[in-house]
Amino acid sequence: MKQDDTWNDETAAAYDTEDAGMFSSDVLGPTIDRLADLARGGRVLEFAIGTGRVAVPLRARGVAVTGIEMSPAMVAQLRRKADEATIPVILGDMATTRAPGDFTLVYLVYNTISNLLTQAAQVACFRNAARHLKSGGHFVIELGVPELRKLPPGQDAVVFRSDPDYIGVDTYDVLNQHLTSHHFRFGAGREARLLRSHHRYIWPAELDLMAELAGFRLESRHADWVKSPFTAESPSHVSVYRLTERIVSG
């Protein structure tokens, strides 16, 4: 699969936000706690490891972490925090690339499975997770719920965040189940920067079917990492799948 130009040197250099947003201790603390518990003392694999937002503190917890990442620029930022011996990373895409060895846990956080833009590629991601897991191992996905109910009749855009220095807008292609996130950041005067990322959104029931095709069954689904109940109003979910049928090759 071709690397998305979104994840280039400029994006990688500005990705980490120093204990703010998704890097805040309020977000990362529960994430690390849950993943460390699911690892059960074994080796874990992060698909799309990025700059190590989750992997670095998880490794500091004593969990052996390996990563797969498509963007060399993101890996270069990770290497400022941890060397190859501490957190090994294999360059490649999360749907097909194989890391050596077996793992008790594979995880994929912060909506990243939606970066795969076809249903077939998303199913392949599940199958790749299954290839890496020991029998009974877990695959964890953190993913947003499509916000189609917020679309006004006849419109295809939703503002998902509005701050003095930032506006985020999602535009939907409901026919093809695609969305594009537009991130506008404002500087002094008339200065503004735009970053776009492209996604294929997935409904929870569709995600469960993908899991079943790869030999998984849903073990739990919560609204967040602290296990709040998942409801019809939840904007996102953390879904934990257990491998019930080992995929050896393919």
Give residue-wise pLDDT tens across range 57-66. Answer: 999 999 999 9
Q: For residue 108, what are the β-bridge partners?
A: 141
Q: How far is CA 64 from CA 35, 142, 206, in A?
A: 12, 20, 31
CATH class of 9-146+202-243: alpha beta
How many Å apart are CA 57 and CA 72, to the nearest integer? 21
Per-residue pLDDT at 3: 45
The 10s digit of each residue's pLDDT in 81-126 is 999 999 999 999 999 999 999 999 999 999 999 999 999 999 999 9
Nearest to 2 by CA among 133, 163, 110, 115: 115
Burial (0-12, 13-18, 19+ Cβ within 10 Å), 83 = exposed
Domain boundaries, the chain: 9-146+202-243, 148-198
Residue ranges of alpha helices (H) inside the chain are 9-15, 25-39, 55-60, 72-78, 119-132, 204-213
